Structure 1
Amino acid sequence: MKILHTSDWHVGKVLKGKPRLAEHIAVLAEVVAVAREERPDLVIVAGDLYDTAAPVPDAVRVVTRALTALRATGADVVAIGGNHDNGPALDALRPWADAAGITLRGAVRDSAAEHVVTGATAGGERWRVAALPFLSQRYAVRAIEMYELTAAEATQTYADHLRRVIAALTADFGSDDAVDLVAAHLTVVGGKSGGGERDAHTVLGYAVPATVFPSSARYVALGHLHRPQQVIGPCPIRYSGSPLAIDFGEEENTPSVTIVEVTNATAARTRLIPITAARALRTVRGTLRELAAVDAGEAWLRVFLREAPRAGLREQAQELLPAAVEIRIDPDFLPTSDTAVRAAARAGRSPGELFADYLTVRGNADDDGVRELFDHLHEEAAQ
């Protein structure tokens, strides 16, 4: 059978105040085009459909239309909730999803049977998916355990909980000729973050060992880490990555989806298909003169100015590079803490003198225009 594995759409993401809904529409249209071209039997969306637990109506419309379009290609569709999603809100869409022929699992429920999805390809090949939405450690580990256990013990307890949950969902794996699959949204030890995930759920969150997955699984489709990658384990384990760079920490990632070909008797073979519809994210550094020569193309830019701070510098950079959504002074050009320590004492000094000292500390002592403007505003405020 053939599977299209995708995850971490993050529809509704705003980049430094810039909405990206049009990009998401284009990206998901490209994912649907890949499905039409590849004709997969099954599409797995492994969590984080939305960027926020309270998506705006336009974001909901984009996600539901994308899922519907994927189903219209003839593939079965299984989608699970991620840590950015509101699991109960996704489950509230299940009547719509069921009517559309889409399997949607937003939050973990008490019954293991709720999370074991079965089906068959057009050629009669049977498959089974253990669909595990994101499970927060605060739900997996009882509060009393969190207070009584050491950090290492609590982490191990969370891993043990996940191991028991996955064992329950995969209890029938290997019992027949079905192709056994797992879809989950979590962090596995050995996975490399893509640079843009929230630390609270990745670097500082509870990662689980790859051994929580059974060797009888033919393929484990993961979401949560935005960099496409394989994780070494007892069975084929892979993150599809996000189909677009979510923020500037991910500009080196390859936005993509993964095509998987697997049978009950053969190892999974994977192919990465790049998704190119979104605008690239680029970081550029230089003086104003150097930035004037930058060809940004269609990319969103993060700019590090290699000049000392002064009034109007940011506006000049923005005029040169309208696609810049973030403009900062390069850290090498910021005043050092030693300079700040040498600033004059405040006691007994006028506001004008203090502001002049501030300009000196910031490297703008010669900016007479700013000093005159301060004096004018201070006079007006004092009247």
Structure 2
Amino acid sequence: MKILHTSDWHVGKVLKGQSRAEEHKAVLAGVIDIARAEQPDLVIVAGDLYDTAAPTSEATRLVTRALTALRRTGADVVAIGGNHDNGPALDALRPWAEAAGITLRGGVRENPDEHVIDGTTADGERWQLAALPFLSQRYAIRALEMYELTAAEANQTYADHLGRVLARLTEGFTEPDRVHLVTAHVTVTGAAAGGGERDAHTVLGYAVPATVFPANAHYVALGHLHRAQRVEGPCPVRYSGSPLAVDFGEQENVPSVTLVDVSATTAARIREVPVTAASALRTVRGTLAQLAEIEAPDAWLRVFVREQPRAGLREEIQELLPRALEIRIDPEMLATPGSGARIAQRSGRSPRELFADYLDSRGHSDEGVRELFDELFEEVEH
């Protein structure tokens, strides 16, 4: 059977105030085109369909239309919730999804059998998929209690909890003539972050070893980390990565989807198919004169300018580079207060004097900034 594995769409993402809606339409159209060309038997969307737990109607419409279009290619479609998704809200869409022939699992349900999905391809290949949405550490123990684990087991680490949940979901991986699959939205120890993930949900208590996955799984389709990569484990374990770079930390990633050919008796053959519809993200550095000579690329830009801070500098750069979304002073240009720098005393000194001291300590001599501060202070005071 053939599987198309994708994840971390983050529909609704706004980058430094810039909507990515048109890019998301193009990216998802590209994913659908790949599905039409490759004719997979199963499409797995491994979480973070949305960028926020309260998606707009436009974002919801785009996601539901994309899932419907993927289903119309003839593939079975299974999508799970990620840490950015609202699990209960996704589950509220299940009646629509079931009517459309789509399997949607937003959050962990009381009945573990709901997370075990069986199917058969058009050629008669049988498969079973254990589908585990993102499980917050706060709810891990509650989920285990749902599955009637002991109090001692509930006192183990998050990794142990997740391993036991997966063991329960995959205990039926025993038939030799069936393809056994897992999808989960989770951080695996040793995998490389893409650069734009939410740190609180990718480190420390949320990381699990690859050994939580059963050795008899034919393929594990992961979401959560935005860089496409294979993870060392007891079976084939892989992140598909995001099909577009969602933040400047991901500018070196190659957006793609993963295609997997596998059978009950043959090992998974894996390949990446690039998705190139979104604008690239790039970082440029230089003085104003150097930036003026850059041939503006068709990309969203992060600019580190090598000039002393002054009023109007951002506007000058945006005139030179209209697609600059983030503009910062290069850290090398920021003066470090010396050992003899005067430390401002707050008592008895006006805000204007304190702000002037701050500017002096940073080597900032632009009178325009002081005048702007005076205007703002005057407005606030009166």
Q: TM-score, normalised by structure 2?
A: 0.91
**Range 93-102 or range 109-118, more displaced:** 109-118
Cα distance, 1:333 vs. partner?
1.0
CA distance in 2: counterparts of 1:347 and 1:208, whole angstroms? 52
> Residue 141 of structure 1 contacts residue 157 of structure 1 at CA under 8 Å; is this kept in 2?
no
Counterpart of 1:248 in structure 2 is 248
CA distance in 1: counterparts of 2:376 and 2:73, whole angstroms? 65
**Paired residues, number:** 374
Q: CA 1:31/1:346 → structure 2, altered by over 3 Å: closer, same or farther? A: same
Counterpart of 1:4 in structure 2 is 4
> Residue 116 of structure 1 contacts residue 130 of structure 1 at CA under 8 Å; is this kept in 2?
yes
> Residue 255 of structure 2 contacts residue 276 of structure 2 at CA under 8 Å; is this kept in 1?
yes
CA distance in 2: counterparts of 1:340 and 1:301, whole angstroms? 38
Determine helix, strand or coil for the equivalent of 1:9: coil
CA distance in 1: counterparts of 2:169 and 2:375, whole angstroms? 71
Determine helix, strand or coil for the equivalent of 2:104: strand
Gaps of 5+ in 2: 144-152
Determine helix, strand or coil for the equivalent of 1:22: helix
CA distance in 2: counterparts of 1:381 and 1:216, whole angstroms? 66
Gaps of 5+ in 1: 144-152
Counterpart of 1:147 in structure 2 is none
Counterpart of 1:172 in structure 2 is 172
**Range 343-352 or range 271-280, more displaced:** 343-352
1:39-69 CA-partner distances (Å, limit 9, x unpaired): 1000000000000111011000000000000
The one-letter amino acid of 1:40's match is P
> Residue 310 of structure 1 contacts residue 363 of structure 1 at CA under 8 Å; is this kept in 2?
no
Determine helix, strand or coil for the equivalent of 2:117: strand
> Residue 71 of structure 1 contacts residue 101 of structure 1 at CA under 8 Å; is this kept in 2?
yes
Cα distance, 1:278 vs. partner?
0.4
CA distance in 1: counterparts of 2:165 and 2:350, whole angstroms? 67
The one-letter amino acid of 1:10's match is H
Cα distance, 1:208 vs. partner?
1.0
The one-letter amino acid of 2:245's match is A
The one-letter amino acid of 2:22's match is A
The one-letter amino acid of 2:183's match is A
State the identity %: 73
Cα distance, 1:294 vs. partner?
1.7
CA distance in 2: counterparts of 1:99 and 1:382, whole angstroms? 60
The one-letter amino acid of 1:21's match is A
The one-letter amino acid of 2:137's match is Q
Q: CA 1:319/1:343 → structure 2, altered by over 3 Å: closer, same or farther? A: farther
Counterpart of 1:71 in structure 2 is 71
CA distance in 1: counterparts of 2:347 and 2:262, whole angstroms? 75
**Range 175-184 or range 124-133, more displaced:** 175-184
Kindly indicate whether residue 15 of structure 2 is the aligned counterpart of residue 23 of structure 1: no
Residues 189-268 of structure 1: pairs in structure 2 closer than 5 A: 189-268=189-268
CA distance in 2: counterparts of 1:235 and 1:344, whole angstroms? 61
1:188-226 CA-partner distances (Å, limit 9, x unpaired): 111111111011000234211111111110000000000
Cα distance, 1:342 vs. partner?
2.3
Counterpart of 1:315 in structure 2 is 315
CA distance in 2: counterparts of 1:10 and 1:356, whole angstroms? 43
> Residue 181 of structure 1 contacts residue 219 of structure 1 at CA under 8 Å; is this kept in 2?
yes
Counterpart of 2:148 in structure 1 is none
The one-letter amino acid of 2:315's match is E
The one-letter amino acid of 2:360's match is T
> Residue 120 of structure 1 contacts residue 126 of structure 1 at CA under 8 Å; is this kept in 2?
yes
CA RMSD in angstroms comes to 2.5
CA distance in 2: counterparts of 1:380 and 1:117, whole angstroms? 62
> Residue 310 of structure 2 contacts residue 368 of structure 2 at CA under 8 Å; is this kept in 1?
no
The one-letter amino acid of 1:99's match is A
